[in-house]
Amino acid sequence: MNRDDPRNASRDRLLIAVGGNAIHPEGIRGTSEEQMQVAAEAAGYLLPLLQQDNELVITHGNGPGVGKTMMRQVLARHRVAPMSLDICVANTQGVTAYILTQAFENALRRVGNPRHAVGLVTQVEVDPADPAFTHPSKPVGYFYNESEASDLVAEFGWEMKEDAGRGWRQVVASPEPRHVCDISLIDALARRGTIVIAGGGGGVPVVRDHLGVRHGIEGVIDKDLTSAHMARVLGIPQLVILTGVSGVSINFGRDDEEQIGRIGVTALRRLRNDAHFPAGSMGPKVEAALRFVENGGARAIITGLEEAVPALAGETGTHVVPDAAL
């Protein structure tokens, strides 16, 4: 099949949301070599999908990267001017896209596949009146003691909150994604068969004035919500959210823990409303899966990176489907 042909109905169309730990898991220092190695391992798990003649869009988290960028700003603040948070998100988005692009293409070349990948620094419009801007709640960066936190508030104007006795962390706004800028470019590249890496870290948050001029705004958009939004706008029928566990569980960490297999949106929404999925971990992923399927998606899968391929074959993972598909 000619990759320059317009969209072919026989092609699989897929959006995969890769967690930030795909290149920066806990337990590593985060050197360039470590991140390249971890990304190469991720590419190995995804290689069967990378080799297919499909339309493939990949998003990624960048939480660990943003945290380290913020720490560098604190440590170097007397020598180097600090950057605003939107610039930090763009910075880490570009770095992560570079690492993943290289890892994917290297994995493909080793098996003789000439397919290309491209990374796009993606802006995502948000509403400047989003309540998240007056009630920042998303923790980013490292833990500080109370004295350090007070100094950062005075020097940077950061909002800091104590986190369950572990120390103080910066909290920022996490607005809802409204529009992915240049979504038509993502669509065109995917139609041509290029692996498109976009929407990293939820995208760089921007607002647009009455003239259509965009301006960055400080915040961090949830990567999974942006992924669900992108998949819906692009008309992609399947969303795969990759995380650190093989699926979604109820009663997580208890003796009666039970992993969910195939579930309809009504039942999952009920569990979500009953607070089974914490906001700081599985909650946003479940919410993203629900929004995607409730707005016309055929299937959302939540599973581990290592299990992406078997999950798509129905062998593992949590599969969220329309009630009518049960």
For residue 111, what pLDDT is reported? 98
pLDDT (0 to 100) of residue 28: 84
CATH value at residue 67: 3.40.1160.10
Amino acid at 259: Q
Q: Would the pTM count as exceeding 0.95? A: no
Q: Could you tell me if residue 32 is inside a domain? A: yes
Q: Over the stretch 173-212, which tens digit does the pLDDT of each residue have?
A: 999 999 999 999 999 999 999 999 999 999 999 999 999 9
Question: Per-residue pLDDT for 291 more than 50?
Answer: yes
CB atoms under 10 Å from CB of 231, counted, come to: 29
Q: Is 34 exposed, middle or buried (0-12, 13-18, 19+ CB in 10 A)?
A: middle
The residues assigned a catalytic role are 20-21, 138, 223, 285
Asked if residue 152 and residue 285 are part of one domain, the reply reads no
Q: Are residues 71 and 212 in the same domain?
A: yes
The answer to which of 139-143, 144-148, 322-326 has the lowest mean pLDDT is 139-143
> 106, 43 in Cβ contact below 8 A?
yes
Q: What does the pLDDT look like over 222-267, one tens digit per residue? A: 999 999 999 999 999 999 999 989 999 998 888 899 999 999 999 9
Per-residue confidence (pLDDT) for residue 10, from 0 to 100: 59
pLDDT greater than 50 at residue 5: no
The pLDDT assigned to 184 comes to 97
**Contacts for 19 with CB less than 8 Å, ≥ 6 apart:** 60, 61, 242, 243, 244, 305
**Is the pLDDT confidence value at 4 over 50?**
no
Q: What pLDDT, in 10s, does the model give residues 110-131?
A: 999 999 999 999 999 999 999 9
Q: Are residues 183 and 217 in the same domain?
A: yes
Give the DSSP H or E segment for 173. none
Type of residue found at 175: P
pLDDT recorded at residue 22: 67
Residues 92-105 pLDDT 10s: 999 999 999 999 99
How long is the chain? 326
Same domain (yes/no): 62, 95: yes
Asked if residue 110 and residue 9 are part of one domain, the reply reads yes
Sign of CA dihedral 82, 87, 91, 93: positive
Mean pLDDT of 68-76: 88
pLDDT grade for 6, boundaries at 50, 70 and 90: very low
- Give the integer Cα–Cα distance in Å for 43 and 37: 10
Q: Work out how many domains the chain is built from and give that number.
A: 3
For the chain, percent of residues with pLDDT exceeding 70: 96
Indicate if the pLDDT at residue 7 is higher than 50.
no
Q: Is position 183 within any domain?
A: yes
Residue 227: inside a domain, yes or no?
no
For residues 214 and 254, membership in a common domain is answered with no
Out of 7-11, 71-75, 256-260, 279-283, the most confident range is 256-260
Q: Which pLDDT score is estimated for 279? A: 82
Judge if 121 and 204 occupy the same domain.
yes
Residues 167 and 155 in one domain: yes
Residue 3 has pLDDT above 60, yes or no: no
> What value does the mean pLDDT take over residues 164-180?
93
Q: Is the pLDDT of residue 2 over 70?
A: no
Pair 96, 142 in one domain: no
3-state secondary structure 229-252: HHHHHHCCCEEEEEECCCCCEECC
Domain coverage including residue 157: 136-172
Return the pLDDT at 227.
98
DSSP conformational letter for 80: S
Contacts of 36 (CB under 8 A, 6+ apart): 99, 102, 103
Residue 241 belongs to a domain: yes
Do 149 and 281 have their domain in common? no
Residue 113 · residue 51 · CB < 8 Å? yes
Whether pLDDT at 72 is above 60: yes
Tell me the DSSP string of 111-138.
Answer: TT----EEE---EEE--TT-GGGTS--E
Where would I find the H helices in 111-180? 146-156
The mean predicted confidence, pLDDT, of the chain is 92
**2 and 32 share one domain:** yes
